Amino acid sequence: MQTQNSSNKLITVYHGTIEDFAIPDISKGKSRKDFGPGFYLTKSRTHAVNLAKRNLNEMIKQKRRSPMDKIFLYEYQINENDFKNFNTLFFTEADMEWIQFILKNRSANKLIHPYQIVCGPTANDDTNTVLKAYYAGLYGNDLGCEKVLNRVVEMLEPENLPYQICFCDQNCVELLQNKAVERI
């Protein structure tokens, strides 16, 4: 984990959703997410599309959307060098600090950290299964101990987790450049 990035690198990021919008609104971010409520982006186009499809399917099951509804894929570019202007936390890998941070955020109903931007591996759908097993004591009854948390990280297969960026502050939206929207 580091708190600053010195590279000057333009990257392409994606946000998949079932909502059409002109400007991202951080206040619409759900609580109990990996890095807290915010606007999430990923470097993986496929991952963004899959998240949007999953959200649409959940809404169809709740009868709040029609199977005919479309998903939206937003594509942006971000200069990672601009992150230095914000209080940013980088997780370079899925490790002990990363899983502890995720566990805290997933159990909170509001933003509980001071960071405006958080970057690092995505805790994916398989993560939910692993975390349920963790809370049930299947990796050991001493929740929070280093041995148990190391087992959780190992079970997550961190080398397979896509990279995500969470904007936790509305001011971060100014970093998004060259917006493109695709209806799928």
Per domain, the residue ranges of the chain are 10-183
The whole-chain average pLDDT of the chain stands at 90
Q: Is 162 exposed, middle or buried (0-12, 13-18, 19+ CB in 10 A)?
A: middle
User: Hey, how many other C-beta atoms are within 10 angstroms of the C-beta on 140?
Assistant: 13
Residue 8: what pLDDT? Answer: 67
User: b/e for 121-130, b at 16 or more Cβ within 10 A?
Assistant: bbbbeebeeb
Bridge partner list, 89:
118
SS3 162: coil
Q: What is the pLDDT of residue 132?
A: 84
Residue 2: per-residue pLDDT: 46
pLDDT band, residue 157 (cuts 50/70/90): confident
Is the pLDDT assigned to residue 46 strictly greater than 60? yes
Mean pLDDT on 97-108: 93
Q: How many residues does the chain have?
A: 184
Rounded distance between C-alpha atoms, residue 86 and residue 71, angstroms = 30
Confidence at residue 6, expressed as pLDDT on a 0 to 100 scale: 46
pLDDT at 93 over 80: yes
**Token pair for 14:** 């994606």
Mean pLDDT value of segment 135-146: 87
Q: In whole angstroms, what is the distance from residue 97 CA to residue 93 CA?
A: 9
Helix 125-135 vs helix 146-155: crossing angle, to nearest 10:
150
For residue 117, what is the enclosing H or E element? Answer: strand 117-121
Task: Indicate the SS3 state at residue 32.
Answer: coil
Share of the chain above pLDDT 90, in %: 64
pLDDT at residue 155, rounded to an integer: 84
Average pLDDT for 92-119: 94
Q: What is the mean pLDDT of residues 110-129?
A: 89
In whole angstroms, give the CA distance from residue 55 to residue 37.
16
Tell me how far the alpha carbon of residue 6 is from its chain's centroid: 22
> To which H or E segment does residue 154 belong?
helix 146-155
Confidence category of residue 167, pLDDT binned at 50, 70, 90: very high
Instruction: Calculate mean pLDDT across residues 92-98.
Output: 91
